[in-house]
A = this chain, B = another copy of it.
Amino acid sequence: MNYKIKCIREKMKLLNIQGLIITNPVNIRYILSIPVEGKILLTDKENIFITDARYIEEVNNFLTINDEFIIYDQKDLSDIDNQTFFSECENVGFEEEYVTYSQYENIVRIYRIKNMEETEKIIEKQRMIKDEKEISLIEKACQITDLCFEHLKQFIKIGMTEKQIAFEIEKFFIQNGADGVAFDTIVASGENSSKPHAIPSDKIIKQGDPITIDFGAKYKGYCADMTRTVFAGEPKEEVKKLYNYILKNQLNATKEIREGTSCKLIARNVENNFYLYSYNLIHALGHGVGLEVHELPILSHNSQTILKENMIVTNEPGIYFQGQYGIRIEDTIRVGRLESEVLTKSSKELTIVG
């Protein structure tokens, strides 16, 4: 059987659910490894993928006998068929964080389900640990992102707008084999850099501006996520000092990222160091990266997760002075058993551009 389904079925036993309905397209892509639309039903007897004419051929060609999936065209299923799938299941799980209230009611009606059970992100939790193939795709996404940063160091000139730079990033990604951007690129210069989630604007890069670039390529569905703050000309001493302070925290946190350490502890450590110097970490220290750019686990003081080998997470401390400027440094990191591997390899030394 598809090993991902095998793991899910083990967790289903622990949750005492005999059936599971999977409709979140990201979870479906994770399980089937191809981008197709439809829904997966795991019943007490079978693994079922229900799709439509647009995808039937592709899915049939891609899945092998080892996947042990039965594929149906939605339009060939009668009411009776639908009512039979879960007829022997006492409890059927669903994705309560994805399914709308209205879809929930439809599912109960169409499949005549006796008892629906919330599943608390079982698949999202499984997705935290990446397999070899997933890691190689994320590595490739990170490589393209690194190449792009090399290019940007030459490309960025005083007088350009933030939008121009953001657009160049997307163009570079596509020309270098990526699907595109993994998320909306942030290019925030001057006082815009004080907003952690700034949108690229028509603001022109000026002499002395810090420029925070938060960007990542998507490659065959998998994301990279990296931030570098660069400077259009030599920054003031205090800015340099702050940059190196953040970098030191980022490097220290990276050293702690390995199997067995708790996400909470790693985040708290940076938060506490910030407090000591009267700074404030106003967002999480990091998050998982995979098919989505923000996945589990979260690296914050609220997190309950213990890191495991082959989780892929970001480490992105930042400090922001509202209305003035901000600095953030972020890498995508593969958690290792003894030490971790930084997948985004671009230099983090203070970089002058323009």
Of A93-101, A222-230, A264-272, the segment with at least 4 beta carbons within 8 Å of chain B is A93-101
* A25 nearest CB across to chain B (Å): 14
- Per-residue contact bits, chain A 171-198, to B (CB 8 Å; 1 contact, 0 not): 1001000000000000000000001110
Q: Does A54 contact B (CB under 8 A)?
A: yes
Which residues of B lie under 8 Å from residue A195 when comparing CB positions?
54
* Partner pick for A167 among B99, B100, B171, B197, CB 8 A cutoff: B171
Q: Does A350 contact B (CB under 8 A)?
A: no
Pairwise interchain contact B171-A171, C-beta atoms closer than 8 A: yes
Pairwise interchain contact B97-A99, C-beta atoms closer than 8 A: no
* A193 nearest CB across to chain B (Å): 14
* A341 nearest CB across to chain B (Å): 30
Q: Does A102 contact B (CB under 8 A)?
A: yes
Q: Does A77 contact B (CB under 8 A)?
A: no
Q: Does A301 contact B (CB under 8 A)?
A: no
Pairwise interchain contact A100-B98, C-beta atoms closer than 8 A: yes
* Partner pick for A102 among B53, B97, B102, B163, CB 8 A cutoff: B97
* Partner pick for A101 among B96, B174, B197, CB 8 A cutoff: B96
Taken together as a complex, chains A and B put the C-alpha atoms of A98 and B101 apart, in Å, by: 8
Q: Does A104 contact B (CB under 8 A)?
A: yes
Chain A 145-172 interface residues, beta-carbon cutoff 8 Å to B: 163, 167, 170-171
Q: Does A70 contact B (CB under 8 A)?
A: no
* Partner pick for A163 among B104, B170, B174, CB 8 A cutoff: B174
Which residues of B lie under 8 Å from residue A167 when comparing CB positions?
171, 174
* Partner pick for A282 among B53, B94, B99, CB 8 A cutoff: B53
Which residues of B lie under 8 Å from residue A102 when comparing CB positions?
96-97, 118
Which residues of B lie under 8 Å from residue A97 when comparing CB positions?
100-102
Q: Which residue of B lies closest to A175 (CB)?
A: B167
Which residues of B lie under 8 Å from residue A196 when comparing CB positions?
54
* A52 nearest CB across to chain B (Å): 10
- Per-residue contact bits, chain A 240-272, to B (CB 8 Å; 1 contact, 0 not): 000000000000000000000000000000000
Which residues of B lie under 8 Å from residue A99 when comparing CB positions?
100-101
* Partner pick for A197 among B54, B104, B174, CB 8 A cutoff: B54
Q: Which residue of B lies closest to A37 (CB)?
A: B197
* A198 nearest CB across to chain B (Å): 10
Q: Which residue of B lies closest to A283 (CB)?
A: B54
Taken together as a complex, chains A and B put the C-alpha atoms of A351 and B162 apart, in Å, by: 37
Chain A 94-147 interface residues, beta-carbon cutoff 8 Å to B: 94, 96-102, 104-105, 118
Which residues of B lie under 8 Å from residue A54 when comparing CB positions?
195-197
* A234 nearest CB across to chain B (Å): 30
- Provide a sorted-by-A list of 22 A–B residue pairs whose CB atoms are within 8 angstroms: A53-B282, A54-B195, A54-B196, A54-B197, A96-B100, A96-B101, A96-B102, A96-B105, A97-B102, A98-B100, A99-B100, A99-B101, A100-B100, A100-B101, A101-B101, A101-B104, A101-B118, A102-B118, A167-B171, A167-B174, A170-B170, A171-B171
9 shortest interchain CB distances as A-B pairs: A96-B102, A96-B101, A101-B104, A97-B102, A99-B101, A167-B174, A101-B101, A97-B100, A100-B100
